[in-house]
């Protein structure tokens, strides 16, 4: 399975909302410079080579359909899905990149942990409002026991 990552991510404001500039890397090789001008259109790809463009687009074709829930608040009354495309692919990578950045920032000042009982909910992780320490980690292990899935700070330290 190909490994993708974003590097040199910078957000910017456009006429229709937030945009970004970044580099898209595939298996440690620069694949493209990607720009979303925040103007409501799709991101623009400046491919490093035709070969990399082909590899990325071939990968996108293997992705499952993207499912979207109903959102009556925004005028979407029924759930729907459509095949993954390069726009949804890069947006998912950006969302994961930003979530990783938020998690790493929070882990500097708080103990972060996940519970098995939170699976299937909107809870990404829980926090203990104290910096990570062995004592704080032991407190969480004793309090939640078998329901504890992971102490995020320890996972991040292994990377």
The tens digit of pLDDT for each residue in 33-71 reads: 999 998 888 899 999 999 999 999 999 999 999 888 888
The tens digit of pLDDT for each residue in 88-129 reads: 999 999 999 999 999 999 999 999 999 999 987 878 899 999
Q: Please tell me whether residue 56 adopts helix, strand or coil conformation.
A: helix
Note the pLDDT of residue 120: 79
The tens digit of pLDDT for each residue in 127-155 reads: 999 999 999 999 999 999 999 999 999 99
Domain boundaries in the chain? 4-104, 108-158
Burial 51-81 (b: 16+ CB within 10 A, else e): ebbebbeebbeeeeebeeeeeeeeeeeeeee
Residue 157's alpha-carbon distances to 62, 131, 132, 143, in angstroms, are 32, 14, 11, 22
- Enumerate the β-bridge partners of residue 6: 24
Note the pLDDT of residue 45: 96
């Amino acid at each position: 399975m190909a490994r993708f990552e974003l590097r040199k991510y910078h957000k910017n404001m456009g006429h229709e909302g937030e945009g970004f500039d970044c580099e898209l890397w595939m298996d440690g090789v620069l694949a493209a410079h990607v720009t979303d001008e925040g103007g409501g259109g799709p991101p623009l790809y400046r491919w490093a080579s035709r070969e990399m463009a082909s590899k990325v687009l071939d990968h996108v074709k293997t992705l499952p359909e993207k499912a979207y829930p109903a959102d009556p608040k925004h005028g979407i009354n029924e759930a729907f899905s459509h095949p993954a495309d390069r726009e949804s692919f890069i947006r998912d990578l950006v969302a994961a990149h930003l979530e990783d950045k938020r998690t790493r920032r929070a882990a500097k000042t708080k103990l972060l942990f996940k519970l098995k009982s939170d699976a299937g909910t909107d809870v990404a992780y829980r926090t203990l409002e104290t910096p990570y320490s062995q004592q704080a980690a032991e407190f969480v292990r004793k309090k939640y026991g078998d329901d504890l899935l992971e102490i995020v700070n320890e996972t991040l330290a292994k990377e």
